Chains A and B, each alone.
Chain A
Amino acid sequence: MNQKVLLTKQDIDSILHRLACQLIEKHHNFSESVIIGLQPRGVYLANRIKNILENEYQIKNIDLGFLDITFFRDDFRRNEKSIEASETQIDFLVENKNVIFIDDVIFTGRSVASALNAIQSFGRPKTIELLTLIDRKFCRHLPIQPDYSGKSIDATITDKVKVYWKENADEDQVFLITN
């Protein structure tokens, strides 16, 4: 097994600032836009992006929610994935809003497809976009692409991408693990 650093702490820091600026370009003061972190791992990234927007670009009162897709998965009973849910917390209306989904890695696209179904329970958004830190190209099962991506990588289906945040590990880092 081979482990390679894909992104260092400094890389992640500059990528998050770049992603925040790209969001501002499109969503301005976020009055019509909301951020939804996809549980469980998109939550860290969503919180980080929100903090940068608020503290460094003075955009206040951004609506941030967390969406769990466990009950919307298309592989229930079909594999050994966890059936345990995480918390969904969306305390605002998404009806007619521009929703930005945030997740750490996009791989097959199935989680995002489930999220597209799950968010309908909270209303009909005007638009939905996707922001990810890592885009694993050539692994998609569905025609879903991120609108904002920190880094695109070419990885085979058996490779693993591990994202660590200082909130749950020592420091921010992304690794590519190959066999």
Chain B
Amino acid sequence: MSQLSVNHLLGIKYLTPDDIDLILETAKHFKEVINRPIKKVPSLRDITIANIFFENSTRTKLSFELAQKRLSADVISFSAAQSSVKKGETLIDTVNNILAMKVDMVVMRHAHAGAAHFLSQNVNATIINAGDGAHEHPTQALLDSFTIKEKLGSVAGKKVVIVGDILHSRVALSNIFALQMQGAEVRVCGPKTLIPKHIDSLNVKVETNLRKALEWCDVANMLRVQNERLDVSYFPSTREYAMQYGLTKELLDSLNKEIVIMHPGPINRGVEITSDIADSKQSVILEQVENGVAVRMAVIYLLASKIK
């Protein structure tokens, strides 16, 4: 019987290629489920899940909640802003208090890299990392792979460029791990100030010219400039960034091929991507959102099957 090799989803780097295959294959079935007239299955009716978000999130939180509800799990959600964390409670105490209410699984987003890993070692529940600092965002990478597979038939052999703020991006790191594990070639593109120093150690080439990167790739994943994480100035101005690294219709039309455009959202329209591109046929941004629910259902379902 196929099962995941892990008991928590802390990051893509802890998964095997077989784990990714199993998750994407299961997600395919859940995508069919969420397109039925009645979009709900009873699998997790005896499982309770807590969504703990110490950082702001709209689509990830909604997507997780919807995935959990489609699986019939009981769901409680809380945001740090309204919690006792503000009163000085530690992470372990906060989570253990929630678990004392008989919660089986915790989905957590946290500003610090390694928070999900730390939690998995210290509390008795299944942990899903919904983003930890600039470290990993595994479900985003899985839904990106699912979308590429759906659009292009496979991930293996595809050329994917990740454009933008790589330095602060957990989406970039998880995507690099996931894509490489499935046999894709990955490059990153952005201003040198926003490329991590040790990117070479991940076997990823750097391209600072957007046109060259686009001419090379089959898929371009356009990342948002994370203004909230930019503690110092990494580029002269937003306008200059948009001129150098913003994807425009003119640039896309000038390529002699059609590439797939992805974006994990939220979009800064007119900065990393123009509105006409975001809403064009080449863009799979809304498919990514739809697939996010199916992929998260798969992850939760597969991890829940291991709860005894």
Q: Which residues of A contact B (CB under 8 A)?
A: 68, 70-73, 76-77, 80-88, 117-118, 120-123
Contact = CB atoms under 8 A, between A and B. Distances in A.
Given A84-B26, A121-B40, 12 more contacts: A70-B29, A72-B41, A73-B43, A77-B307, A81-B1, A83-B302, A83-B305, A84-B22, A117-B42, A121-B33, A121-B38, A121-B41
Contacts of B93: none
A84 B149 CA distance: 19
A123 B41 CA distance: 14
Nearest to B2: A84
Per DSSP, chain B at the interface is loop
Central interface residue in B29, B40, B301, by most chain A CB within 10 Å = B29
13 contacts: A68-B29, A71-B30, A71-B41, A71-B301, A72-B42, A76-B304, A76-B305, A77-B304, A77-B307, A87-B32, A88-B33, A117-B42, A121-B40
Please give me the 3 A-B residue pairs with the lowest Cβ-Cβ distance, nearest first: A71-B41, A85-B29, A121-B38
Given A77-B304, A88-B32, A82 B40 contact: no
Contacts of B2: 82-84
A82 B30 CA distance: 16
A87 B26 CA distance: 10
A88 B1 contact: no
Interface string B1-43: 1110000000000000000001001100110110011111111
A24 B37 CA distance: 30
A117 B33 CA distance: 14
Contacts of A80: 1
Nearest to B44: A76
Contacts of A118: 41
Contact of A121 (B29, B36, B46, B301): B36
Contacts of A84: 1-2, 22, 25-26
Contact of A71 (B1, B43, B308): B43
Nearest to A83: B305
Contact of A88 (B29, B71, B301): B29
A122 B33 CA distance: 10
A125 to B, nearest CB: 13
Contact of B36 (A73, A86, A122): A122
B1 A83 contact: yes
B19 to A, nearest CB: 13
A115 to B, nearest CB: 13
Nearest to A76: B43
A118 B36 CA distance: 11
B241 to A, nearest CB: 44
Contacts of A85: 26, 29
